[in-house]
């Protein structure tokens, strides 16, 4: 090839390269996920602590989680705390995700991987955006997980850039949730039945329900508020109410200042534990729904059972093994206060049913009497 031809070829080559670069810059379909084996989101690498905002879009739902000076919160729910662990898992999961296998580029097959446009009425996909201030670190569509049941291939999560044609299988697990509830710190408290010594339910019409146990070794509660001559329908009839505060979660939440509660509560409840915790709840009806407020205080701890080692002998006695960490009552009261003080909660149906129980619920059915 003569020098003139080489020069022409060089010019053409440069022109093609420049044209390709310009096309990539201008083409909104230019891939954002490009290299197999590389991190799926290079902008996020080393910047997990810089993330200040998470946005999750699924169908007609959009959830925004923001970092505030008090921690992660959900503005849609008036700044109620978000699940810190879920925030951490999502951000680190996206940072760790590696592109493992290139999948389809055909739009009609995206739904099989659940990486279709997430705003569709039947979409299974979720669009996730992570920002550090105004900088977008991640903007991706998260699809379904792939499980390697044979342990011979790759397990992970399908992803696709919103403007990309190429879908990928990423090595790693990402679960962005699909609604506001999945991001809220919904757990209110966890007071298990084996700690509960007694409970009292005072209804707005004056009816009072009282159930107690003499010791923590007693399996069942005895209803003290039944009329003379009345008997319980079964030994465990009053036990379910005592389980109400065990891993109690809410269905919805509002600031107390934003809800006008009636002067009269439907029920005021109090649960006392053997170690001196008292949890108080008040149930109100607002616009046809049942909402609750909570408070906690220190009460009187039950005296130790007669067969418990004396104080001088406790050092010699071998304490029973416990699976759960024991939280001091003072810390528990503080935690409940910090969670519940400024909020009202819409409770799940089972909790409302338990907290509004009347004495008649513990009596034998008429057909059985």
Domain that holds residue 72: 33-171
At 154, is the secondary structure helix, strand, or coil?
coil
End-to-end Cα spacing for the chain = 110
Is residue 99 located within the same domain as residue 226? Answer: no
In a domain, 343, yes or no: yes
Burial class (CB in 10 A: 0-12, 13-18, 19+), 250: buried
List per-block mean pLDDT (blocks of 10 residues) for the chain, which spans 369 residues. Answer: 51 45 42 73 97 98 97 97 97 97 97 97 97 98 85 82 97 94 96 97 98 97 97 97 97 96 97 97 96 96 69 52 63 93 96 98 81
In a domain, 176, yes or no: no
Residue identified by tokens 């810059």 is 25
Is residue 101 located within the same domain as residue 210? Answer: no
Q: Is 37 left (phi over 0), alpha (psi -120 to 50) or beta?
A: left
Residue at which a domain ends, from 137, 171, 205: 171
CA distances from 30 to 13, 21, 140, 162, 165 (A): 21, 10, 14, 10, 8
Query: How many whole angstroms separate alpha carbon 139 and alpha carbon 164?
Result: 11
In a domain, 5, yes or no: no
Is residue 162 located within the same domain as residue 198? Answer: no
Provide the pLDDT for residue 18.
42
Is residue 362 located within the same domain as residue 228? Answer: yes
Q: What angle do CA 353, 359, 365 make, to 5 degrees?
A: 90
Is residue 363 located within the same domain as residue 215? Answer: yes
Q: What is the pTM of this model?
A: 0.80
Is residue 249 located within the same domain as residue 194? Answer: yes
In a domain, 17, yes or no: no
The number of domains in the chain is 2
Provide the pLDDT for residue 26.
40
Is residue 195 located within the same domain as residue 156? Answer: no
Is residue 96 located within the same domain as residue 154? Answer: yes
Residue at which a domain ends, from 171, 202, 218: 171
Provide the pLDDT for residue 194.
96
Is residue 256 located within the same domain as residue 330? Answer: yes
- Is the distance from CB of 177 to CB of 183 less than 8 angstroms? yes
Provide the pLDDT for residue 36.
75
In a domain, 287, yes or no: yes
Provide the pLDDT for residue 283.
98
In a domain, 261, yes or no: yes
Is residue 92 located within the same domain as residue 192? Answer: no
Is residue 131 located within the same domain as residue 262? Answer: no
In a domain, 179, yes or no: no
Is residue 220 located within the same domain as residue 290? Answer: yes
In a domain, 347, yes or no: yes
Residue at which a domain ends, from 145, 171, 197: 171
């Amino acid at each position: 090839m003569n020098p003139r031809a080489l020069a022409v070829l060089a010019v053409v080559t440069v022109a093609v390269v420049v044209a390709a670069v310009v096309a990539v810059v201008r083409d909104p379909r230019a891939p954002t996920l490009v290299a197999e084996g590389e991190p799926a989101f290079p902008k996020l690498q080393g910047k997990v602590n810089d993330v200040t905002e998470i946005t999750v879009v699924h169908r007609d739902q959009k959830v925004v989680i923001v970092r505030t000076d008090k921690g992660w919160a959900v503005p849609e729910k008036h700044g109620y705390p978000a699940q810190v662990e879920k925030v951490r898992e999502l951000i680190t999961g996206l940072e760790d995700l590696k592109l493992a296998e290139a999948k389809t580029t055909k739009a009609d097959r995206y739904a099989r991987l659940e990486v279709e446009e997430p705003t569709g009425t039947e979409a299974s996909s979720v669009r996730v955006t992570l920002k550090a201030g105004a900088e977008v670190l991640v903007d991706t569509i998260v699809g379904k997980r792939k499980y390697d049941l044979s342990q011979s291939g790759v397990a992970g999560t399908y992803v696709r850039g919103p403007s990309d044609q190429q879908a990928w299988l990423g090595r790693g697990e990402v679960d962005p949730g699909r609604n506001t509830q999945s991001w809220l710190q919904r757990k209110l408290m966890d007071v298990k039945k084996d700690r509960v010594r007694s409970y009292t339910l005072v209804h707005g019409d004056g009816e009072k329900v009282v159930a107690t146990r003499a010791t923590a070794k007693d399996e069942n509660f005895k209803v003290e508020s039944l009329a003379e001559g009345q008997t319980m329908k079964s030994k465990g009839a009053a036990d379910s109410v005592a389980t109400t505060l065990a891993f109690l979660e809410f269905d919805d939440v509002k600031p107390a200042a934003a809800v006008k509660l009636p002067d009269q509560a439907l029920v005021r409840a109090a649960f006392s534990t053997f170690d001196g915790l008292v949890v108080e709840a008040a149930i109100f009806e607002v616009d046809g729904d049942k909402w609750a407020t909570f408070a906690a205080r220190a009460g009187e701890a039950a005296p130790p059972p007669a067969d418990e080692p004396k104080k001088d002998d406790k050092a010699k006695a071998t304490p029973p093994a416990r699976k759960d960490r024991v939280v001091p009552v003072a810390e528990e009261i503080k935690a409940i206060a910090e969670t519940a003080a400024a909020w009202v909660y819409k409770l799940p149906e089972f909790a409302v049913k338990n907290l509004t129980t009347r004495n008649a619920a513990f009596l034998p059915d008429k057909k059985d009497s």
